[in-house]
């Protein structure tokens, strides 16, 4: 009787332990390391201020751009996310003679176009646009940035077709999807009864930009600046269904073998309680 | 006695179930070992310079420095590199010739030697859960060496600088594909749990490296 009791107790404990272990294996907990790496922010700068001539651009006290000419636009540069002190001074005058000092705050992984704008010292500023460079497969993404202070609301057309209607100063259009190829863009300023034109070739899977800068009545004279950035694909799908049967395989996939073990674990646990009941009886 | 018989029958049932699974597992283990071994076997690069691509070769010269082999000693990867583009939905494509053993270099981006972010992807696993070429990418650590050899025989060394996991809709695409601040090679595969309704995993693993 005592032997039976000990055996039953041992069996119960063993079955409980095995059952719990099997359940843990069945659910297959797997810890994933948290993402600790922070992505930089990406910023391109366009000089669109008629007030400041060729300039030096400083970020956080260090010179980022030298002899930055009006109408020039940079590539996207990676900078740490967060706030940054941006200063713009006339070329060669040094950071102490900055005509513009402003804090620019950017988010990790995001891309921005930052336009230096303003027609006088009192309205110099940075106009920040959040960009989306995800590509449109097989086509071109296109965006207009209206940075001409006296253009008013402009209309952008190509081949007689209106692409962007009535876009005002300090604004950027939505992204348009246009076929890749050569274009002649016509930017009409009803305010000035004037049209600017420029030609550009835009490639497949790229992101194209058209900047309207300068003064229709003044200097520097109004102009159209084009730029093109690489379009970004989405991340790949490199995972596979773990429950799928391979076409050349006749053996069941790894994961379903855990099902019998899971059922077995429940049976073991149940047997442990059953034994206890019998003993109590 | 009756109780003991019941227990023995339960144990026997368990043994049958477990042994049956182990039997499957044993053959699976053998196949997994074969799969892992195959990932290190040099396979000819198909569809690139031979056979069906003879027309392409005749039409325009094949540029040098196309990456053809990826070696990561730390996790025992020695894989052929296929050129991949984008899918119709705009996502990066994956290797097509040998999907589970090869890795794919995004050929619309920069070469590994050029300024910018060159990207190589590879499958995490195969249907049914067998490991694929990037199964052990998760084991990489900052500082690990990544070698890329070109079709001209030149080998470049990259060093792991960051490792990160992202939900696929939150992956920083500009960082992964569009960082012009240096010469980078970023490795990407799936991670996390399988979502049957979405036919994808919950995460993407990106290993960022920089040219040594």
B150-209: pLDDT as tens digits = 999 999 999 999 999 999 999 999 999 999 999 999 999 999 999 999 999 999 999 999
Q: Which domains does chain B have, with CATH numbers?
A: 40-211 (2.40.260.10)
DSSP classification of residue B82 = E
Asked, for residue A77, whether it belongs to a domain, the answer is no
A vs B, Cβ pairs < 8 A, gives 202
Longest dimension (CA), chain B: 84
Shortest distance, CA B14 to any CA of chain A (angstroms): 5
Q: Which residues of B touch A136 (CB under 8 A)?
A: 90
Q: What is the pLDDT of residue B156?
A: 96
- Which chain B residues have a beta carbon less than 8 Å from that of A133? 173-174, 178
Q: What's the whole-number average pLDDT of chain B?
A: 80
Q: Name residue, tokens 């090869």.
A: B102
A173/A264 same-domain check: no
In a domain, A255, yes or no: yes
Same domain, yes or no: A164 and A220: yes
Q: Which residues contact B9 (CB under 8 A, 6 or more apart)?
A: none
Residues A266 and A210 in one domain: no
Identify which has the larger pLDDT, B114 or B16: B114
Structure tokens at A186: 């016509």
Q: Which structural domain, as residue segments, surrounds residue A213? A: 132-232
Any domain includes A63: no
Report if residue A50 sits inside a domain: no
The DSSP bridge partners found for residue A87 are: A58, A101
pLDDT value at position A9?
A: 62
Digit-coded pLDDT (tens) for A145-162: 999 999 999 999 999 999
Mean pLDDT of B16-45: 35
Domain count for chain A: 2
CATH of the domain at A175: 2.60.40.2890
- B21 contact residues in A (CB cutoff 8 A): 257-258, 260-261
Structure tokens at A88: 């713009």
pTM above 0.90, yes or no: no
- The residues of chain A scoring below 50 in pLDDT are 1, 19-36, 249-253, 279-280
Summarised one tens digit per residue, pLDDT across range B66-102 is 999 999 999 999 999 999 999 999 999 999 999 999 9
- List, as ranges, residues 34-93 from B with C-beta within 8 Å of A: 86-93
Hey, of A134, A239, A270, which one would you mutate to test binding to chain B, going by the most B CBs within 10 A of its CB? Answer: A239
pLDDT of residue B4: 64
A42 vs B92, B174, B188: nearest CB: B174
A40, part of any domain: no
What is the ipTM metric for this complex? 0.76
- Give the gap in angstroms from C-alpha B106 to the nearest C-alpha of chain A: 10
Give the DSSP per-residue string, chain A: -HHHHHHHHHHHHHHHHHHHHHHHHHHT--------PPPPEEEEEEE--SSS-SEEEEETTEEEEEEE-TT-BPPPEEE-SEEEEEEEEETTS-GGGEEEEEEEEE-TT-EEEEEEE-SSGGG-EEEEEEE--B--TTSEEEEEEE--TTS-SEEEEETTEEEEEEEPTTEEPPPEEE-SEEEEEEEEETTTTEEEEEEEEE-TTEEEEEEEESBSSSSSBPEEEEEEEE-BPBPP-----TTPPPTT--SPPTGGGHHHHHHHHHHHHHHHHHHHHHHH-
Structure tokens given for A45: 């700068």
């Amino acid at each position: 009787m005592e032997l039976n009791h000990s055996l039953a107790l041992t069996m119960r404990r063993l079955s409980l332990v095995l059952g719990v272990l099997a359940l843990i294996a069945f659910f297959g907990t797997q810890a994933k390391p948290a993402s600790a790496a922070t992505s930089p922010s990406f910023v391109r700068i366009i000089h669109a201020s008629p007030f400041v001539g060729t300039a030096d651009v400083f970020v956080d006290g260090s010179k980022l751009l030298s002899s930055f000419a009006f109408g020039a636009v940079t590539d996207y540069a990676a900078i740490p996310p967060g706030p940054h002190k941006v200063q713009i001074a006339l070329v060669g005058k040094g950071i102490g003679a900055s005509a513009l000092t402003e804090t620019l705050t950017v988010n990790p992984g995001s891309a921005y176009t930052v336009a230096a704008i303003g027609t006088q010292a009192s309205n110099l500023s940075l106009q920040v646009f959040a960009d989306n460079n995800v590509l449109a497969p097989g086509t071109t993404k296109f965006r207009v940035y209206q940075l001409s202070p006296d253009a008013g609301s402009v209309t952008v057309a190509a081949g007689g077709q209106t692409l962007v209607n009535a876009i005002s100063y300090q604004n950027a259009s939505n992204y348009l999807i246009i076929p890749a190829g050569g274009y002649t863009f016509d930017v009409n300023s009803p305010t000035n009864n004037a049209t600017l034109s420029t030609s550009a070739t835009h490639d497949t899977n790229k992101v194209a930009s058209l900047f309207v800068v300068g003064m229709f009545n003044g200097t520097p004279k109004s102009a159209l600046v084009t730029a093109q950035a690489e379009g970004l694909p989405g991340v790949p799908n490199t995972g596979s269904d773990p429950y799928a049967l391979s076409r050349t395989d006749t053996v069941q996939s790894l994961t379903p073998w855990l099902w019998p073990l899971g059922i077995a674990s429940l049976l073991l646990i149940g047997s442990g309680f059953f034994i206890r009941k019998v003993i109590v009886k | 006695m009756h109780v003991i018989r019941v227990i023995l029958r339960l144990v026997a049932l368990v043994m049958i179930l477990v042994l049956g699974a182990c039997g499957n597992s044993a053959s699976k283990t053998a196949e997994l070992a074969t799969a892992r071994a195959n990932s290190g076997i040099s396979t000819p690069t198909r569809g690139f310079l031979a056979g069906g691509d003879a027309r392409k070769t005749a039409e325009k010269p094949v540029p040098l420095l196309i990456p053809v082999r990826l070696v990561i000693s730390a996790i025992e990867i020695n894989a052929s590199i296929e050129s991949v583009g984008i899918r119709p939905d705009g996502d990066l494509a994956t290797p097509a010739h040998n999907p589970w053993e090869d890795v794919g270099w995004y050929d619309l981006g920069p070469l590994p030697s050029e300024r910018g972010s060159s990207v190589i992807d590879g499958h995490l696993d195969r249907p049914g859960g067998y490991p694929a070429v990037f199964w052990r990418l998760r084991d990489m650590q900052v500082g690990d060496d990544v070698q890329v050899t070109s079709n001209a025989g030149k080998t470049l060394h990259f060093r792991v600088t960051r490792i990160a996991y992202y939900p696929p809709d939150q992956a920083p695409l500009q960082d992964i594909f569009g960082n012009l601040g240096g010469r980078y090679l970023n490795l990407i595969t799936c991670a996390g749990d399988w979502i049957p309704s979405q036919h994808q995993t919950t995460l993407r693993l990106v290993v960022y490296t920089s040219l040594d």
